[in-house]
Each structure stands twice: as structure tokens, then as C-alpha cells.
Chains A and B, each alone.
Chain A
């Protein structure tokens, strides 16, 4: 069965992934992931912060070819400068032609001294050594700025989504957002990558992407559930699940199209440049976009349904639909169907709400469709 056909069947509700139905399962998976992420942060004692946050100096030298003795040689040379702050340099080789040296915060003169020493031992000119010296309070400043911006952004998004949709959608979207950020940060803690400003850019982009992705799905959910309480064919959960399935191919395509360029940054950044801005950024993005797509589908929408089900009218609708179905079943003498089948067949009803005239004749084919158990084609 081709992917295209799956798309069609997802759209019509013929094939339907019972995502909302199994919300507990996704919540559990995510809760476990969150615990691992938070546990990793606790065990690791937070994130491995880059020089921009901790203060200090980072020198990068590009050489023709590094050898086994490069690291000890450079280390010796830096220590030999006798500068206190450079007494314990961290020297690493990045890629096969970059040498990176971390020391404490250096004054401009000390920077020159260290650069000269490194230049001498590596046999390159001093101007070929890139240097970055960060003051001790800079990290605190950019962190504070980022947090202020982040809080205002979240607030603005909450207001925006509440106005154009409703506050429950805003809440569900923001929970999914939090989920993505915690997970990505947890990955960083777990793997021990340096957190640099570029990483922070990555995190911030994840915020935007995660919300963007959720909004596209919610837009469809809202379309499917408009005036839903006026009928008794489908529940809110089913209509939401249909919306989810109808946008599933979009979500997959967008995730793939979004991830392709990021993967190429990751590949080029890590493969050709060693480390640096591009790699730091792309890694956060790669993890974030993947988990953002997951959370839009498996966290945001089920959560929205749970929130909506607390509304008396929505809960009343669910009862009416169930009563109607029970009556229909007893008329035909059928046993109660498996939940997934309900989701699939009723999701079909979601289309009915939306476009009254179509599909009614096909409702007769439910038993046929149950031939494959109403399960997704995969």
C-alpha cells in the first residue's frame, strides 16, 4: 500500500490512528521521557555551559594537520605562559584541523600572550588564531535577557491563541511547548554537549516551531469541531482525532521537509567545520523539531480533548453519542465495538459534521471496514 493511499485513507477516516483514544499511553511515554530528562539534568548537575555563559577565553587555531602530540604541546605552551587564569587550559582537537583552547578570563594583554604562545607551538601566524574572551557577567546578562524575552513571548502567544482560538488550545499548545523544551534540554544534559548562545537560538526556534506545528493541527481540529454540540453523531474526541489524522500527512511532510535542511546543517557543520555555531544550532533544532512534531500530535491534541471534555456541553455530547450508538447496536444486535473501531468509524462522522451531504451511503460499509479491524494500514 503506497504512502499516497495511506494519505487518502487517513483523510477520509478510512484508516485512522486512534491517537486521542490512547492518550494515556502517550502521556505515560512523555512522562517517562520528562523524568529521564529532568533526572539527567539533576544527575549531571545541570548543563555543560559554553564559555559565553561561564566567562573565560576560547581560542581556535586552524592548522594544516593535527597530530597526537598537538594537544599536550599546546597545553604545555599555554601553561608555560605563567598566566594564572590559563594555568589549567582545556585543549581539544575539533575535526582534524582545528585546535580549541579554553582558559579562564584573560585580559587583552594576556590574550595576546597566549595567542603568541599557541601560534609559536602550532607554527601559524598569530592572526590565524581566533579568540573569544567573555567577561564573567555576560552570561548572566544574556540569560536574563533571554528569559525576559521568553516570558513575554509565551504570554503573547497565550493571548494570541486565546483570542483566535480559545484558552484551552493555548494551554494545550504551551504544555506541548514545555514538553519539547524540557526534553531537548534533557538531551543536552544527557549527552553533555556544550550549551552556547547558538544552542539557545536553537531552543528558541524550537519554541516557535513547536507552536507553529501545533497551530496547524488545532486549526483543523477547530474546523472539524465547529458547532459540534448541535449534533449527536460524533464526540469532540472523535472529531479532534479525525482532524489529527487528516493533518497527519501534512505533519509528516512538514517534519521531513523541516528536518532535511537541519540535517544538512548538522552534517556540514559537524562534518566539515568540526564544531561551531552551525552544529550547536542544528543539534538543538534537530532534536527539537522531531520532538515538536511528536508533541503536537501526541500531547497537544489529546490534552486539548481532555480539557474540552471537562466542559458540560462537550461531556453531554459524548454521552448523547454513546447513547445513540448503544441504541443502534442493540437494534442490530451487535456487540460493543473495540474502542479503536469507534474512533475510526466515528471519525468518519467528523466528516459528516463538516459536510453534511456526503458519505452517508458509505456508513453502511462499516462492517466491511472492520474487516481490517479498523486499524491503521501500517
Chain B
């Protein structure tokens, strides 16, 4: 049996007040007073893309991350504001934009991003000139190595590491080409031909490159592998004129980042397919005969230059190492890009929804109206059935509503939670679940009163019994919400999230508000003495008229003895 001394109701109510103050104080500090609405409530376009690899293998998390980055770059580049790109499950990417009717966007985001190696014909480095990464020569001598190579034996036993790739610009805008490069025209350079131009840029092309504004490059343009390409790096810093693609992403077998034994800085090891090995050898043969910048090839992903290593020797054997002063992150980022190129993801647009703002706001209105009506009906019923306790239900639901609202607003800021129509439905449905905790509790209290206990005592003993039931049943709800959230896609998640959220809020409210409030109220004359309108009238509840009631004199004389 619960001890009657146990409750410290004011402390619990104080804790609740503190929670509310913190929640609303945070909202005031952030200046956020309204929840973030989902597209189905405010209108907009939502595109769900399902990724698949071109060869049917599993989609890796790395390539998904890369794909999200690519899509984000494309959407941002297209000038759409307030876009939101998230992943759902392991293979879905959801792009949400507030605009309606962006058919172009569907095409834009759904394209397969291609990786290509293109010879550099001209480059205008961006950013402040900074010292280049020290060219670290790696690799074992290979049969095809030109005499100019100064190979150092690689410690990686049994591993034919090829030499001669030095990264010049690896996403870092400070990376500039090696100043040691002598800009003498290479004798093997073909004369510049517009169709399949190679070699150094012509004067016109140089002028065009100088005039190139990186911001003008359309996002997600699929570059023609057989033509030259004017483009920039991913930071819009350096500008490039690149020749037709020699090697494409699918020629790469795999890429890994690591530190070769005996070395200190990170490198990226590349393995080519047999086809790719041939192409790469041919390409490096041509490149190594030239001077900077024409001895470099650009690694181009989705039309943008990721990195442009120089080639010092032809590289046969289908293996290459890109070295430079990479940090671990840089090396891994480059390896991810190369691996993505090896297995580019194709996207199928699974769900393209356009909701007009009119439809959105009418859904919102309907949801709010349904919620208000539902809440009103619940309150009416509670008052009818539980009389005075109905007011407790009302107060508890109001507190639950306040906490839920604040939680939704703050979660919108913290984790980008948006309220969707399914979420609103979840909230409305949860009114029932929340109210049920009170029903369970009240019925237990009334059971105790029927046993002949005083109202004060009944609140405490009834709570002990009800608490376990509430905890058990809320655990079931939480489990349901959790599994729904983790394993579902699309708008089921919004529903599961609010369901779980409100179950937690329910626990907070029952423990920190309803229970202590009843403890306090039980001391009052109205509830404590079991006024006929309190919902706790022992007479009406059929309690045996025995000493049990009179035992508690604190509540005053049993006035209802006349009834």
C-alpha cells in the first residue's frame, strides 16, 4: 500500500511548471512560435527518389550520402529557395521545395550523376595562391615508366602501386597548381580543334574561360563526354577548360583512401577495370608527355571538378595512386566520389506530389477543426461522466496540448520536424490515448473509494495501481510508434513520430500534473469530502458506509450523510 506521506504534489507541479517555462522560454529566445508545416499543409512539391545502382548491387550509405550532396548542389544551383533534402530508409531521397509545378526540378534531381576524367586544357586557379602540396612520389617502377620518373620503392609488398599522380586541387580552394610546372608547350600537343579539341586552349578559349562566371553554370547539366567543357570546381573558385572525357566513372573498379606503409600522408588508391586500365594508360601516356596544366586530368563529378591531379608518367596495370597532402577527410571524400562514379546511382521518381497552397491550407483548417471538435466532445463527455474530475481532464489536456505544441515547434528547429496532415491526425488520435490514462486513473480511484477508503487515501492507492497500467500500456504505444517510425517511409513516419511524442507527453502530464493535482484537490473540501458533483461521491459510488470514510477527519464532517 502506498504511504499517504509519499506525495509531494507541489514539488511535482513545480517541476512541470519548470518544464513549461524552459520550453516556452526557449521558444521566446529563438523567436519561433509556430510549427514548421509540411508540404501537404502549406503547398509545394515533394519528390521521392528511389536509388538503384546501375549493376543491381546494394546501394551503399556512402554513395547515398554522395548522391544527396549532388542533388543538394543541383537544387541549390537551380535557384530554388528553402529546399529540403532528406533520406528516408536506405534508398530513398526526398526533395521538398515550396514551389508548385517544378517539373524541371523532377528531371534535374532525377538524373544520374556521372563521373569522368577529362584532360585539363586550361585552368584559372581561384583563391589566393598558396604553396602546392609537395609532390610525393609513390609507386614501384613499372615497365612503362618513363625515365624521368624517380620512383621510390613502395613498401606495400605485392602491390603494384603506380606512380605519378599528384593531386593539384582537391576541393580546397587554396590548392594551386605547382609553380614548378614550366609552361612550355608540349611538342605532342595536337593543334586546337573545336570538335574534339585537345591540348592547350586557344586564345579565344582562354578569353572565354577568363570571362566564365561560375554562378552561371547550370546545376546538374549532364556534360557531353565527347566535347570540351568549360566548368568550375565545386567551390566555384577555379575555372577550367577540359577536353573530352578519356575515362568514365564505370571504368573505375574501386577507390580507397589510406596511408601507404612507411608514409605519413593520405593517398587515394585507384583500381581500374581491364577496359578502364587501357583507357587510363592511353590517357596518362598522352598527358605525361605534356607540361602543366596540360599534364593534369580533372576528376569531374556531375559537371564539376573535384580534383585535378597531374600525371608524370604513363600508368599501366590498372592501378594508380593519387597523392598530395590530403587530410584523412579529403582523401576519403575523394575516394567516395571515385567509388560513386564506379557505381553511379540511378533514380526512379517514386512519388512526385504537388500540393497547391489552397489545398494545403484547407487541409490544415480541416485538421484543426477536427481537432477542436474532437477535443470539445471529449471534454463534454468527461464532464458528463466524471463531473468535477472532468475539469481535471480538461486541465490535463490543456497542459498536454501546451507541451505538445512547444515540443513540435522546438523539434522543428532542432531536427527539422515538420507537421504534416498525418501528424495532425496522430495528434487527434492521441487525445483518446492521453485521456485514457486519466480514465484508468480515475476508475482506479473510484474503485478504491468503493472499497470504503477516504478520497485522499484512494487517490494515493489508486495511483499506485493505475501507474503500472499506464506505464505498461504506454510502453506498448511507444513500441508501436518506434517500429512504425523506423521501418516506414513517407507520411507514416510523421504519424508515428507524433504518436510517440504524445505518448511521452502523456506520461509527463499524468506523473507531473494529473496525479499531483488530484493529491492537492483531494485535500479540498469539494473533492476530498466527495461532493456529489466532484465525481468522487462515495455514496454514489456505492461505498459501504463504514468507519473507513469517517476515519479521515481532515476533510471535515461527512456532509453528504443526508443523501
* Contact (Cβ within 8 A) A250 B443: yes
* Contact (Cβ within 8 A) A204 B351: no
Of the candidates B89, B366, B373, B382, the one having the most CB atoms from chain A within 10 angstroms of its own CB is B366
* Contact (Cβ within 8 A) A109 B103: yes
Residue-wise, chain A 108-146 has the 8 Å CB interface mask toward B (1 for contact) of 110110010000000000111111111101100110011
Q: Is A337 an interface residue (CB 8 A)?
A: no
Q: Is A31 an interface residue (CB 8 A)?
A: no
**Chain A residues closer than 8 Å to B489, beta-carbon distance:** 141-142, 145
Chain B residues with a Cβ closer than 8 Å to the other chain, count: 81
**Chain B residues closer than 8 Å to A257, beta-carbon distance:** 378, 381-382, 431-432, 435-436, 439
- Pick from A9, A138, A152: contact of B487, CB below 8 A: A152
Q: How many A-B residue pairs have CB under 8 A?
A: 257
Q: Is B214 an interface residue (CB 8 A)?
A: no
CB<8 Å pairs between A and B, sample of 23: A52-B351, A62-B359, A112-B103, A128-B356, A130-B355, A130-B359, A135-B50, A137-B350, A142-B488, A149-B484, A149-B488, A153-B479, A160-B475, A197-B491, A211-B480, A223-B465, A250-B439, A254-B440, A260-B381, A262-B374, A268-B373, A276-B363, A277-B363
For the complex formed, measure the closest distance between the CB of A362 and the CB atoms of chain B, giving whole angstroms. 9
**Chain A residues closer than 8 Å to B370, beta-carbon distance:** 261, 264-265, 267-269, 278
| A205 vs B92: C-alpha distance when bound (angstroms) | 24
- Pick from A11, A141, A261: contact of B378, CB below 8 A: A261
- Pick from B358, B422, B487: contact of A62, CB below 8 A: B358
* Contact (Cβ within 8 A) B542 A8: yes
Interface residues of A in 256-284 (CB under 8 A from B): 256-265, 267-269, 272-273, 276-278, 281-282
**Chain B residues closer than 8 Å to A256, beta-carbon distance:** 381
Interface residues of B in 17-33 (CB under 8 A from A): none
* Contact (Cβ within 8 A) A260 B374: yes
* Contact (Cβ within 8 A) B473 A216: yes
| A166 vs B282: C-alpha distance when bound (angstroms) | 72
Q: Is B551 an interface residue (CB 8 A)?
A: no
For the complex formed, measure the closest distance between the CB of A238 and the CB atoms of chain B, giving whole angstroms. 18
Of the candidates B377, B385, B476, B492, the one having the most CB atoms from chain A within 10 angstroms of its own CB is B476
* Contact (Cβ within 8 A) B366 A219: no
* Contact (Cβ within 8 A) A146 B487: yes
A residues with a Cβ closer than 8 A to B are 3-5, 7-9, 11-12, 52, 60, 62, 108-109, 111-112, 115, 126-135, 137-138, 141-142, 145-146, 148-150, 152-153, 156-157, 160, 164, 197-198, 200-201, 204-205, 207-209, 211-212, 215-216, 219-220, 223, 246-247, 249-250, 253-254, 256-265, 267-269, 272-273, 276-278, 281-282, 285, 289, 355, 358
Q: Is B472 an interface residue (CB 8 A)?
A: yes
With known contacts A160-B475, A250-B443, A131–B378 Cβ distance under 8 A: no
Of the candidates B89, B369, B486, B540, the one having the most CB atoms from chain A within 10 angstroms of its own CB is B369
With known contacts A132-B352, A138-B350, A254–B89 Cβ distance under 8 A: no
B residues with a Cβ closer than 8 A to A are 40, 48, 50, 89, 92, 100-101, 103-104, 106-107, 348-356, 358-359, 362-363, 366-367, 369-371, 373-375, 377-378, 381-382, 385, 421-422, 425, 428-429, 431-433, 435-436, 439-440, 443, 446-447, 450-452, 465, 468-469, 472-473, 475-477, 479-481, 483-484, 486-492, 495-496, 499, 540-542
**Chain B residues closer than 8 Å to A246, beta-carbon distance:** 447
**Chain A residues closer than 8 Å to B496, beta-carbon distance:** 204
For the complex formed, measure the closest distance between the CB of A41 and the CB atoms of chain B, giving whole angstroms. 22
| A4 vs B385: C-alpha distance when bound (angstroms) | 8
| A141 vs B22: C-alpha distance when bound (angstroms) | 41
For B474, give the chain A residue with the smallest CB separation. A212
| A146 vs B362: C-alpha distance when bound (angstroms) | 29
- Pick from A197, A212, A254, A289: contact of B439, CB below 8 A: A254
* Contact (Cβ within 8 A) A254 B432: yes
**Chain A residues closer than 8 Å to B375, beta-carbon distance:** 261
**Chain B residues closer than 8 Å to A145, beta-carbon distance:** 89, 487-489
For the complex formed, measure the closest distance between the CB of A178 and the CB atoms of chain B, giving whole angstroms. 15
* Contact (Cβ within 8 A) A273 B363: yes
With known contacts A253-B385, A281-B425, A258–B480 Cβ distance under 8 A: no
* Contact (Cβ within 8 A) B477 A212: yes
With known contacts A216-B440, A277-B40, A281-B425, A260–B378 Cβ distance under 8 A: yes
| A11 vs B445: C-alpha distance when bound (angstroms) | 12
| A24 vs B433: C-alpha distance when bound (angstroms) | 31
For the complex formed, measure the closest distance between the CB of A332 and the CB atoms of chain B, giving whole angstroms. 26
For the complex formed, measure the closest distance between the CB of B388 and the CB atoms of chain A, giving whole angstroms. 14
| A200 vs B100: C-alpha distance when bound (angstroms) | 27
For A268, give the chain B residue with the smallest CB separation. B370
* Contact (Cβ within 8 A) B367 A60: no
**Chain B residues closer than 8 Å to A62, beta-carbon distance:** 356, 358-359, 362
For the complex formed, measure the closest distance between the CB of A287 and the CB atoms of chain B, giving whole angstroms. 14
For the complex formed, measure the closest distance between the CB of B451 and the CB atoms of chain A, giving whole angstroms. 7
- Pick from B422, B429, B488: contact of A146, CB below 8 A: B488
- Pick from B348, B349, B425, B476: contact of A157, CB below 8 A: B476
For B88, give the chain A residue with the smallest CB separation. A145
**Chain A residues closer than 8 Å to B542, beta-carbon distance:** 5, 8-9, 12
- Pick from B354, B475, B495: contact of A130, CB below 8 A: B354
With known contacts A211-B480, A215-B473, A201–B101 Cβ distance under 8 A: no
**Chain B residues closer than 8 Å to A197, beta-carbon distance:** 490-492
Of the candidates A134, A211, A264, A278, the one having the most CB atoms from chain B within 10 angstroms of its own CB is A264
* Contact (Cβ within 8 A) B374 A138: no
**Chain A residues closer than 8 Å to B450, beta-carbon distance:** 8, 11-12
For the complex formed, measure the closest distance between the CB of A200 and the CB atoms of chain B, giving whole angstroms. 7
* Contact (Cβ within 8 A) B432 A262: yes
* Contact (Cβ within 8 A) B354 A132: yes
* Contact (Cβ within 8 A) A282 B425: yes
* Contact (Cβ within 8 A) B373 A267: yes
With known contacts A219-B469, A250-B440, A258-B432, A115–B425 Cβ distance under 8 A: no
For the complex formed, measure the closest distance between the CB of A148 and the CB atoms of chain B, giving whole angstroms. 5
Of the candidates A134, A260, A272, A358, the one having the most CB atoms from chain B within 10 angstroms of its own CB is A260
For B475, give the chain A residue with the smallest CB separation. A160
* Contact (Cβ within 8 A) A156 B479: yes
**Chain B residues closer than 8 Å to A132, beta-carbon distance:** 351-354
**Chain A residues closer than 8 Å to B495, beta-carbon distance:** 201, 205
* Contact (Cβ within 8 A) B377 A261: yes
* Contact (Cβ within 8 A) B421 A146: no
Closest A-B pairs by Cβ, 8 of them: A149-B487, A261-B374, A258-B432, A208-B480, A8-B542, A138-B350, A153-B483, A268-B370
* Contact (Cβ within 8 A) B490 A142: yes
| A272 vs B433: C-alpha distance when bound (angstroms) | 25
| A60 vs B358: C-alpha distance when bound (angstroms) | 11
| A201 vs B495: C-alpha distance when bound (angstroms) | 7
**Chain B residues closer than 8 Å to A198, beta-carbon distance:** 422, 425, 491
**Chain A residues closer than 8 Å to B473, beta-carbon distance:** 212, 215-216, 219
For the complex formed, measure the closest distance between the CB of B441 and the CB atoms of chain A, giving whole angstroms. 10
* Contact (Cβ within 8 A) B465 A201: no
* Contact (Cβ within 8 A) B50 A278: no
* Contact (Cβ within 8 A) B476 A208: yes
With known contacts A131-B353, A257-B436, A272-B369, A8–B541 Cβ distance under 8 A: yes
For the complex formed, measure the closest distance between the CB of A55 and the CB atoms of chain B, giving whole angstroms. 9
- Pick from A108, A130, A208: contact of B499, CB below 8 A: A208
With known contacts A62-B358, A132-B354, A246-B447, A261–B432 Cβ distance under 8 A: yes
For the complex formed, measure the closest distance between the CB of B71 and the CB atoms of chain A, giving whole angstroms. 16
For B494, give the chain A residue with the smallest CB separation. A201
| A259 vs B436: C-alpha distance when bound (angstroms) | 12
* Contact (Cβ within 8 A) A135 B499: no
For A255, give the chain B residue with the smallest CB separation. B432
| A207 vs B484: C-alpha distance when bound (angstroms) | 11
